Amino acid sequence: MPAFFDKMKNSLLKTQVWKSMFRHGYEDSPRNRYLQVLDNVWLHLHPTRIPRHGAYIRFTWCMGGITFLLFLVTAVTGVLLMFYYRPTAEYAYNDMKYLEFDVPFGMFLRNMHRWAAHGMVIAVWLHMFRVFLTGSYKPPREFNWVVGVILLTTTLLLSFTGYLLPWDQLSIWAVTVGTNMARAAPLLGHEGPFGPELGMKPDNDMRFVLLGGTQVGPPTLLRFYVLHCVFFPLFLAIFIGVHFWRVRKDGGISGPL
Amino acid sequence: MENLWLIIGKADNVPIVMMIPLFAYYSWLAFKQATANDRLIADGKYSELQEEGKDRIFTWPLLTRNEFLCAILIMVILTVWSVALDAPLEQPANPAKTPNPSKAPWYFLGLQEMLVYFDPWLAGVVFPTLIIVGLMAIPYIDKNPKGNGYYTWQQRKFAISTFVFGFFALWLMMTFVGTFLRGPGWNFFMPWDRWDPHKVVAMTNVDLHQFFGIRSSLAAFFFGGFVVTAYFSLGALFYYWKRNAEFFKKMGPVRCGILIFLFLSMISLPIKMILRWTFNVKYIWVTPWFNI
Ligand code: HEM
């Protein structure tokens, strides 16, 4: 039998179709180890060789990678959830119930999305903590740290806008508390320093723009939905791209100079 | 105790409970490596560390393998977590029924807790902005060339203690207090207290100027303004006094100014917390437009 499979495998590896997809052999040679990384669109973000400590989990804690993985999980489960969820006050809550009781694996999907999102917040904090403790923000990586802070802020906003979507008591009040701050923004809020002097009123200040009304209501749901499903994910994805690019361009993983 | 168990049992609070062992573990892991490196450096063997850093290995399979294992482990944890614990869904949204207490998502409870000590425009807008800008400024302020790319404590004592103070003692502590110790009316409850929705806390807070017997609001305005200005000027004085210290000389006046401003802003939080606990001070500076 094994001989049969070997034969099958060998003839498969020789077909034009296979060779058009994978352009290198599999013998364990240094050349193939390079090509394995270089010829693969997913792996080519990596350099072909890295400092020894870069592969130690105790050095990076793999935290940036874990943050990225959790982001991918939320993206995939999020798209699946979008098939079942309508961002209007009439339907949103019922759709959550529908997911829970009728959609096959609906509750599992929702759980996975939520816990991955919460996990991502923790992972991004731990990643920042690691990068700080190894002093990896020092030259030449100053700017990548700044990009990181943008990612951190976006992660929190992404999580926060998603919190409203179930449209239950937990979500509207958490978002009410959170967005109430905006009414106190200096200059731009109707209760903030110098806001009233600049003509800010409950129905034209920054909070109004954010909520699409004077309180958390159906327009807020739609706004947060669009921000949560389109704007922030795209924004985050773009800056993750910049972040990874910069890790390479700044000389790869940091190490003792 | 039952209220504490209720909070811990809330599905959404699982991450924050998980954070305690996680941060403890990773701090220990970092500290262990820092001590090992510090010992190496103290023995004059920094070059050994450098040599190790120059050693190159193949990404495939040595790094990709570890990434793969990490990914599997995380996916297993996430799957078990998602099977075991359901995401919360409470009653349908009802704008007419305010829950007491109303809490923001757990990762913002540090900010909500800050509202006890500062007005919303500071706690909810200015401080978050300062945190973000301050974090971004770190690489440009920290001119210490040592400790770049390896764990160490001896070479970066000031940077690490400031960061750890801000992150653990302020941000995470406030988040824990906001999550676990705040009940109805945002009143403080010890874990063993029952949450009494009718708890009345006497409003005995006074403003700093009242403490000094100042009555007129104009005098109060100038007094508060003086105190706040003086607080930040102390930083300038400190710089003037220490400007020849090597630490400050290397940084130059602009960096020093930003560092001292951010540092004093951060420290103003614990200062105001202590003033509140000991003297019931509410505001330092009262004006018709804003209070600090
Ligand atoms: C969505 C959030 C983020 C993702 C997906 C991400 C991902 C990554 C990955 C995969 C790496 C490679 C090394 C490692 O895994 O540790 C990395 C490195 C780095 N990250 Fe992030 N990161 C994020 C947020 C942040 C934040 C919040 C900061 C800091 C405030 C930051 C600063 C850095 C820096 C300076 C490096 C280079 C580290 C070195 O060379 O040792 N990142 N990031």
Please write the tens of the pLDDT for every residue from A198-233: 899 898 899 999 999 999 999 999 999 999 999 999
Q: Are B146 and B156 in contact (CB under 8 A)?
A: yes
Same-domain check for residues B133 and B210: no
Nearest to A177 by CA among A192, A195, A163, A193: A163
Mean pLDDT in residue range A169-195: 92
Higher per-residue confidence, B163 vs B286? B163
> Which pLDDT band holds residue B168 (cuts at 50, 70, 90)?
very high
Please give the residue that has the higher pLDDT: either B7 or B76: B76
Tell me if A93 CB under 6 Å of ligand 1.
no
B144, B227: one domain: no
Domain final residue pick, B179, B197, B215:
B197
Distances in whole angstroms, Cα of residue A71 to Cα of each of A110, A114, B66, B178: 15, 11, 19, 27
> Dihedral sign, CA of B159, B165, B167, B171?
negative
DSSP, collapsed to helix, strand or coil, labels residue B56 as strand
In terms of residue numbers, what domain contains B113?
Answer: 1-44+98-197
Mean pLDDT of the B285-291 span: 89
Residues A171-196, mean pLDDT to the nearest whole number = 91
Residue B90 within any structural domain of the chain: no
Mean pLDDT of B78-93: 95
Mean pLDDT over B98-102 rounds to 90
Residue identified by tokens 């990068």 is A131
CA of B248 to the centre of ligand 1 (A): 29
| Residue B185 amino acid letter | G
Whether A28 has its CB under 8 Å from any CB of chain B: the answer is no
Say what the pLDDT of residue B245 is.
85
Q: Where are the alpha helices (DSSP H) in chain B?
A: 2-9, 14-42, 46-54, 64-84, 109-114, 120, 127-141, 157-164, 173-180, 208-211, 217-242, 246-279
Percentage of chain A lying above the pLDDT 90 cut? 77
Whether residue B149 has pLDDT greater than 80: yes
Q: pLDDT per residue over B173-224, tens digit each?
A: 999 999 999 988 898 888 888 888 888 877 778 888 888 888 888 999 999 9
B136/A145 CB distance under 8 A: yes
The Cα B207–Cα B227 span in angstroms is: 12
Higher pLDDT, B279 or A95: A95
Q: Is the pLDDT of residue B80 over 90?
A: yes
Optimal mutation site among A133, A194, A221, interface B, most CBs of chain B within 10 A: A133
**Is residue B133 domain-shared with residue B34, that is, in the same domain?**
yes
Distance B192 CA to ligand 1 centre (A): 40
pLDDT band for position A237 (cuts 50, 70, 90): very high
One domain for residues B192 and B232: no
Nearest CA in chain A to B132: A149
User: Element (H or E) spanning A59, and its range?
Assistant: helix A57-60
Q: Look at residue B110 and tell me if it is in a domain.
A: yes
* B57, part of any domain: no
- % residues pLDDT > 90 (chain B): 66
pLDDT band (50, 70, 90) for residue A25 = confident
* Same domain, residue pair B160 and B173: yes
Closest chain B CA to residue A184: B121
| B280 and B176 both lie in a single domain | no
Dihedral over alpha carbons B255, B258, B260, B261 (to 10 degrees):
170
> Which of B175, B197, B219 is the C-terminal boundary of a domain?
B197
The reply to whether B66 falls in a domain is: no
Same-domain status, B275 and B209? yes
Task: Tell me the Ramachandran region of residue A6: left when phi exceeds 0, alpha when psi lies from -120 to 50, beta otherwise.
Answer: alpha
Task: Check whether residue B257 and residue B169 sit in a common domain.
Answer: no
Residue A21: predicted pLDDT: 87
Average pLDDT taken over every residue of chain A: 94
Number of domains in chain B: 2
Asked whether residue B88 is assigned to any structural domain, the reply reads no
Distance, CA of B100 to CA of A207 (rounded, Å): 23
Lowest mean pLDDT among A34-48, A143-157, B29-43: A34-48
User: How many CA atoms are closer than 13 Å to the CA of B95, on its beta-carbon side?
Assistant: 8
Note the pLDDT of residue B249.
86
Domain boundaries, chain A: 24-55, 60-249
> Are B264 and B143 in a shared domain?
no
Of B182, B197, B212, the position where a domain reaches its end is: B197
Is residue B207 domain-shared with residue B193, that is, in the same domain?
no
Rounded to the nearest angstrom, the minimum Cα separation between B290 and chain A is 5
B32 and B116 co-located in one domain: yes
Tell me: pLDDT of B1 over 80. Answer: no
Residues A215 and A204 sit within 8 Å (Cβ to Cβ)? no
- Kindly state whether residues B140 and B10 are assigned to the same domain: yes
Q: Write out pLDDT tens, residues B17-65.
A: 999 999 999 999 999 999 999 999 999 999 888 888 888 999 988 999 9
pLDDT for residue A41 is more than 90: no
Q: B51 lies in a domain?
A: no
Residue B76 within any structural domain of the chain: no
The distance of B195 to chain A (nearest Cα, Å) reads 19
Tokens of A4: 């049969």
Of the listed ranges B53-67, B85-99, B193-207, B240-254, the one predicted with least confidence:
B193-207
> What is the token pair recorded at B171?
């941000």
Residue in B254, B263, B255 with CA at minimum distance from that of residue B235: B263
Q: Tell me what pLDDT residue A67 has.
A: 98
Dihedral through CA B138, CA B141, CA B145, CA B146, nearest 10?
A: -50
* B81: in domain: no
Would you say residue A73 has pLDDT above 80?
yes
The CATH superfamily assigned to A60-249 is Cytochrome Bc1 Complex; Chain C (1.20.810.10)
